[in-house]
Amino acid sequence: MDPSQAVREGLLPLLPRLRRLARALAGQATDADDLVQMVLERALTRAAQWRPDATLDKWVFAIARNAWRDELRARNRSQRLFAEEEAGATTADAASAPAQKLELAAALAALPPDHREVVALVLVEGLSYSEAADLLQVPVGTVTSRLARARATLQAHLGKDA
């Protein structure tokens, strides 16, 4: 099978996982939606670069991670933000969501981006420490320490004992 066709066919089943990862990285639904769109566009236009011996999910997750980092760098350079959510939608979402979910989302958003990445990959997507390290191109010890610091920060933010 042609790699481009395999990528096209493999993206649809990956959408829920990609959406979860994007939400964990970006912290806001609108930014996550924009990130997913960016990732899908990049994956489709660069489908010929995917190697069939590599797993598609890790390749797509790497695209997501790199796209988000590119966006953060662009924001830092130009102080440009994605459009704010409508005030009414934010209020309606907050009123309908459980308090714990909102607290957790705020705690995740407060994490540094490199800690949020590790939490998203290991705790949300269930990758092993070595898989996350390969994807992030860092040693396994770095993943372990970032995850430990992220957990400690989350526990402190949520008011729970470590």
Quick one: tokens of 91?
């209020």
Grouping H, G, I as helix, E, B as strand and the rest as coil, residue 162 is coil
Quick one: tokens of 58?
């890790």
Quick one: tokens of 109?
């958003």
pLDDT tens sequence for the chain (162 residues): 677 788 888 999 999 999 999 998 888 889 999 999 999 999 999 988 888 888 899 999 999 999 998 888 877 765 534 444 444 444 444 454 567 777 777 888 888 988 988 998 888 888 899 989 988 889 999 999 999 999 998 888 887 644
Quick one: tokens of 148?
């430990």
Domains of the chain: 1-96 (1.10.1740.10), 98-162 (1.10.10.10)
